[in-house]
Structure 1
Amino acid sequence: IQGKKHHGAVMTLVERKSKAVIILNTRHKTDKAIFEKLDALLSVTPKGLFKSITFDNGKEFSKWKDIANKHDISTYFADVGAPNQ
C-alpha cells in the first residue's frame, strides 16, 4: 500500500487460514525496501512458520528468488485473470 502522493509505503501480509494480518512499514515501494523488511521478518520467525508467500505482480517483488532461496519458502504470484471467490 502506497501513501498519498507516493510518500511512504506499507506491506501487508495476510495468513490465509487464520486471517491474521502483519503490517510492515517499508517506507518505500522499492524491491530493496520490500526485500529488507521481508527478510528481517522471516529471519526472526521460527523456520517453517510460513510455508509459502503469494505476491501480487508488482515489480517491488522482483527479489522474490532471493527470499525463496534464503528462507527456503515457496513463492507464488497472484493470477490476475482468476475470478474472485
Structure 2
Amino acid sequence: MEVKIRLFAFLQDQLGPSITVEVTNPVRIKSLLNQISQQAPQLSSTLANSRLAVNQEFINDEEVILKVNDEIAIIPPVSGG
C-alpha cells in the first residue's frame, strides 16, 4: 500500500511538505522511518528522534495498522525560545 506522509519543521524544509512510501500492513514504525532515511540519509538522526502521528494522534506502539485514508505525519523534535 502506498501512503503519503506529511512532514513538518526541519523535515519539511529538507524534503517538502510530504513524502510517499510503500508499506505493508501492519507497519513497523522503525521500518517506515528507515525507508525515509534511505531516501534522505542526512536525516537519519532527526528521523530516529521524531514522532509518528496517525489521524492526529501520536503512536507509541512499535506497529500500526494503516487504512487507505489515514492521515500520517512525522513530527521532528523542536525547540523554542
TM-score, reference length from structure 2 = 0.38
Greater C-alpha Rg: 1
TM-score, reference length from structure 1 = 0.37
Highest RCO, 1 vs 2 (Cα 8 Å, sep ≥ 6): 2
Write 1 or 2 for the structure with the bigger share of strand: 2
